[in-house]
């Protein structure tokens, strides 16, 4: 099968030609999708009627091991029965829309901050595969920012300044910036990890590795580190670096967390049902390269 990619933005993101990913098992097609990810960072596949099982299977065929700690999973059990499937919805265990003060709802509001998935644990997330199951009529977009183009556009002095810096990422921090509170025990579980600020991809291109979880720069004062993170976040999320995805039901969008950031956009989530499922792969050396 020949798979083609149609660019959706001048810098990154593309839509794949017609394909049923549930049936994709051959090495050549899986390799073509991985090459598309290396090139575009975000790929949109329309009309993918995945069940949970099929999505879990495809994500593993595509990139091996699945992440199980991409949210506050250590604190709250998923209603979906497996932590490898992230419940990106505003729906509770009995299928009801979560009430305004629900803790999971409040936690998931943090998806509206620019972030990369699971940068606060090691290994972090590599690819995220988000499947749109139920969308409200006026569905909010998800925005993606191209971190390779953002890196390339930095001036030489800034590139030099940040070259070897490490940044601490913690999910407690990103939630706290929105006023969310954690007990000392929860904080301990969510204390986070250090990550390089600049990542080099296998083709030699560099990428800014940023997220709302980025809480401090190792070796800098808290204030100066946070100012640097804020400056880079503002730079990297300028409209010229952003692709805004308008969802259709049964879309599968795959993004590379190493080369993009993303954020959810607001909608009336106490009235309208929105259900997506995410599988995220572990950013480790692929066990089998097909
Ligand atoms: C995610 C995420 C954004 C959205 O699934 O990781 O950030 O629009 N989702 O739901
Ligand atoms: Mn996310």
Atom of ligand 1 lying closest to residue 140 CA: 8
Does residue 288 have a pLDDT over 60?
A: no
Q: How far is the CA of 233 from the centre of ligand 2 (A)?
A: 16
Does residue 74 have a pLDDT over 70?
A: no
CATH number for the segment(s) 5-282? 3.60.130.10
Q: What is the pLDDT of residues 188-241, one digit of tens each?
A: 989 999 999 999 999 999 999 999 999 999 999 999 999 999 999 999 999 999
Q: What is the pLDDT of residues 133-164, one digit of tens each?
A: 999 999 999 999 999 999 999 999 999 999 99
Q: How far is the CA of 77 from the centre of ligand 2 (A)?
A: 18
Does the Cβ of 117 fall within 6 Å of ligand 1?
yes
* Atom 8 (ligand 1) nearest CA: 264
Q: Number of C-alpha atoms within 13 angstroms, CB side, residue 133?
A: 17
- Contact by Cβ (8 Å): 52, 275: no
Structure tokens at 78: 């998923």
Mean predicted confidence (pLDDT) in 11-28: 98
Residue 77: what pLDDT? Answer: 75
Please, what is the angle between helix 27-40 and helix 52-63, to 10°?
Answer: 80
Residue 290: what pLDDT? Answer: 47
Does the Cβ of 213 fall within 6 Å of ligand 1?
no
Residue 106: what pLDDT? Answer: 87
Q: Where are the chain's structural domains?
A: 5-282
Does the Cβ of 111 fall within 6 Å of ligand 1?
yes
| HEC sequence for 228-281 | HHHHHHHHHCCHHHEEEECCCCCCEEEEECCCEEEEECCCCCCCCCCEEEEEEE
* Range ranked top by mean pLDDT from 26-30, 102-106, 107-111: 26-30
**Calpha distance 79→96 (Å, rounded):** 12
Q: What is the pLDDT of residues 225-235, one digit of tens each?
A: 999 999 999 99
* Atom 3 (ligand 1) nearest CA: 264
**Calpha distance 275→131 (Å, rounded):** 9
- Contact by Cβ (8 Å): 133, 209: no
């Amino acid at each position: 099968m020949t798979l083609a990619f149609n660019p959706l933005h001048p810098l990154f993101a593309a839509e794949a030609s017609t394909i049923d990913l549930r049936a994709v098992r051959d090495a050549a097609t899986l390799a073509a999708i991985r090459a598309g990810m290396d090139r575009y960072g975000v790929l949109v596949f329309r009309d993918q009627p995945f069940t949970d099982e099929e999505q879990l299977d495809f994500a593993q065929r595509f990139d091996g091991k699945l992440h199980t700690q991409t949210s506050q999973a250590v604190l709250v059990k998923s209603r979906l029965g497996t932590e490898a499937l992230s419940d990106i919805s505003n729906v509770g265990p009995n299928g009801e829309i979560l009430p305004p003060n629900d803790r999971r709802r409040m936690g998931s509001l943090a998806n509206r901050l620019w972030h990369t998935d699971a940068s606060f644990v090691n290994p972090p997330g590599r690819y995220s595969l988000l499947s749109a199951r139920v969308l409200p009529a006026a569905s909010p977009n998800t925005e993606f920012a191209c971190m390779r183009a953002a890196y390339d556009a930095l001036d030489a002095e800034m590139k030099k300044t940040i070259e070897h810096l490490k940044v601490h990422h913690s999910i407690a921090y990103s939630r706290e910036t929105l006023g969310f509170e954690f007990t000392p025990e929860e904080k301990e579980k969510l204390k986070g990890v250090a990550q390089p600020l600049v990542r080099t991809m296998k083709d030699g291109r560099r990428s800014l590795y940023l997220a709302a979880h980025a809480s401090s720069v190792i070796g800098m004062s808290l204030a100066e580190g946070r100012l640097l993170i804020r400056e880079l976040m503002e730079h990297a999320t300028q409209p010229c670096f952003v692709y805004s995805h308008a969802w259709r039901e049964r879309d599968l969008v795959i993004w590379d967390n190493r080369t993009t950031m993303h954020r959810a956009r607001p909608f009336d989530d106490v009235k309208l049902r929105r259900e997506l499922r995410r599988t995220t792969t572990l950013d480790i050396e692929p066990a089998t390269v097909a």
